[in-house]
Amino acid sequence: MLKLSRLTDYAVVVLSRMGRDSEPLQSAPGIAARTGLAEPTVAKVLKILAQSEIVEGLRGARGGYRLTRPLSSITLAEVIVAFDGPIALTACVDGGMGGCESEHLCPVRGRWDPVNHAIREALAGISVADLAGGGCGASLSFTTDQFVAAE
Amino acid sequence: MLKLSRLTDYAVVVLSRMGRDSEPLQSAPGIAARTGLAEPTVAKVLKILAQSEIVEGLRGARGGYRLTRPLSSITLAEVIVAFDGPIALTACVDGGMGGCESEHLCPVRGRWDPVNHAIREALAGISVADLAGGGCGASLSFTTDQFVAAE
DNA sequence: GGAAACCGGACGCGGTTGGTCCTATTTGAC
DNA sequence: GTCAAATAGGACCAACCGCGTCCGGTTTCC
């Protein structure tokens, strides 16, 4: 699998929808209604996106969320990091971070770094706008990870 | 995270150890003893590796496992596929495979493909020999995913 | 002052992973 | 010919994590 979390998938859908709409400020309930996703879920996604400053939340009545940047400048890597944490195939992120008590014994220490960097670069080269496409005006009622292909 | 399964990590350790040893035929209990991993776990890892024909199992007394190829020709992608299934960030693997009943509505359909291909290529470009290194003669008592860095 | 909306955290259910064990089969040694 | 050693394959159980939900609190506009 290597599959990313469902929330990440929702985030792409939500961001795509936000970018498609002309209204700059959109409420979580409104986005939920337009995407067909559950409202609490959309709210959670937007909260996380706001923490990463990918969207900006405005409180109060008539509040809502708006994109801080155009979709074309939001990379897939950013979104994944926001939900799944640092992009690294193993937990020994970049071989730094001390704390692994068996560091001096770990034979593969540091050797995953090139792999992780390669993946990071691949994900940083794709923007949400690329994923959203442009011609598809569908209602985004469904997400991409509906089921898994058995190995 | 995007972290791979623990079994995959074990597999890299086991393969590295097998490649380091001069004996071509090694038993699962023997490898377990040399790596410090639990014997049932090593057996499970080797069984899966054998199904993928990365190693070959010889039954009977004095049996064991041996590499079918040198470590340098075993790619990381192969190992990951053996344990985690097809390499794809979402479940809609390559947008093929019909079955997604909302295919005609799915706005990001097919757009993940370039990402998946990029990651696949990155992983296919790294061999187990690269990960195993060559100079480290440690006992491989520990694996790489001991703990997770909190997001 | 009330309503609408965001913010942050806590809770509980479900699915998946990971570790173990059991049995069957094969093969070499005595 | 019999026994021991080792792989093959599957089943089972416990622990963990993702994730959907809900709650109280705060802010802002009408």
Quick check: A86 and B151 CB within 8 A?
A: yes
Quick check: B105 and A138 CB within 8 A?
A: yes
With 0-12 / 13-18 / 19 or more C-beta atoms within 10 angstroms meaning exposed / middle / buried, residue A124 is middle
The amino acid occupying position B60 is: G
ipTM of the complex: 0.76
| Count of CA atoms in the C-beta half-sphere (13 A) of A134 | 5
Whether A66 maps to a domain, the answer reads: yes
Closest chain B residue to the Cα of A96, Cα to Cα? B149
Which nucleotide is the nearest neighbour of B145, by CA and C1'?
C18
Q: What is the pLDDT along chain A (151 residues), one digit of tens a residue?
A: 677 888 998 999 999 999 988 888 999 999 999 998 999 999 999 999 999 999 999 999 999 999 999 999 999 999 999 998 888 776 554 444 444 444 444 555 566 777 788 888 888 988 999 887 654 333 233 333 322 222 2
Q: What is the pLDDT along chain B (151 residues), one digit of tens a residue?
A: 577 888 998 999 899 999 988 788 999 999 999 988 999 999 999 999 999 999 999 999 999 999 999 999 999 999 999 998 888 776 454 444 444 444 444 555 566 777 788 888 888 988 999 887 654 333 233 333 322 222 2
Residue A128: give the domain boundaries: 6-132
Closest CA to B83 of A123, A85, A89: A89
Predicted pLDDT at A121: 85
Residue A146 CA distance to nucleotide C10 C1' (Å): 28
Task: Work out if A38's Cβ lies within 7 angstroms of strand D.
Answer: yes
Residues 6+ away with beta carbon under 8 Å from A93: A86, A116, B149
Q: Which CATH number characterizes residue B79's domain?
A: 1.10.10.10
Predicted pLDDT at A1: 60
Predicted pLDDT at A136: 37
The count of other CB atoms within 10 Å of the CB of residue B23 is 10
Strand C footprint, Cβ within 7 Å: A 1, 27-30, 43-44, 46-47, 50-51, 57-65, 148; B 5-7, 10, 38, 40-41, 43-44, 59-63
Domain total for chain B?
1
Whether B95 maps to a domain, the answer reads: yes
Predicted pLDDT at B94: 46
Predicted pLDDT at A109: 55
The count of other CB atoms within 10 Å of the CB of residue A19 is 16
Which residue is the nearest neighbor of C3, CA to C1'? A61
The count of other CB atoms within 10 Å of the CB of residue A143 is 22
Task: Work out if B52's Cβ lies within 7 angstroms of strand D.
Answer: no
Whether A67 maps to a domain, the answer reads: yes
- Sole residue written with tokens 């799944």: A84
Quick check: B149 and A85 CB within 8 A?
A: yes
Residue B104 CA distance to nucleotide D14 C1' (Å): 41
Which nucleotide is the nearest neighbour of B56, by CA and C1'?
D7
Whether B147 maps to a domain, the answer reads: no
Whether B140 maps to a domain, the answer reads: no
Quick check: B85 and A1 CB within 8 A?
A: yes
